[in-house]
Structures are given as C-alpha cells and as structure tokens.
Amino acid sequence: MRYSNVGVGVTWRAPWRARLSVGAENLMSNGRNPFAPSEDEQDDSSRVPYIRYEQDL
C-alpha cells in the first residue's frame, strides 16, 4: 500500500512583498509512513503545525 497524507494551510500576502503561512501537515494519512520510527506510534503524534514567514528582499 502506498503512503499518502493531507495537510491544510492558509497564506496571507502582505503589501511589502512578504507571505505569512499558518497550517498543519499530516492531518490525515493512509498507509504506513516509511519514515516513522515504530509501528506503535499513533497518528496524532505525527501531526506537525507550522508558521512560516517569507519575504523577498
């Protein structure tokens, strides 16, 4: 079985050529993650929230 996951996020583009993104990776997954350390790990612990700021100089 192939591994796949779903993430969600939103991005706001600032007038000074910047982007602010907020979201979470791996909200839902299907299959076994090939990078998971063990099979006993629950899916809840693999969710990764993020805040990202990018600016063009």
Can you give the pTM of this predicted structure?
A: 0.66
| Reported confidence tier of residue 39, pLDDT bands at 50, 70, 90 | low
User: Which position has the token pair 């939103």?
Assistant: 10
Predicted local confidence at residue 53, as pLDDT: 97
In this predicted structure, the answer to whether residue 45 has a pLDDT above a threshold of 70 is no
Strands 4-14 vs 48-55: parallel, antiparallel or unpaired: unpaired
Which residue from 4, 1, 2, 46 is spatially nearest to 29, judged by alpha carbons? 4
How far is Cα 49 from Cα 24, in angstroms, rounded to an integer?
A: 4
Residue 27: exposure state from Cβ atoms within 10 A (0-12, 13-18, ≥19): middle
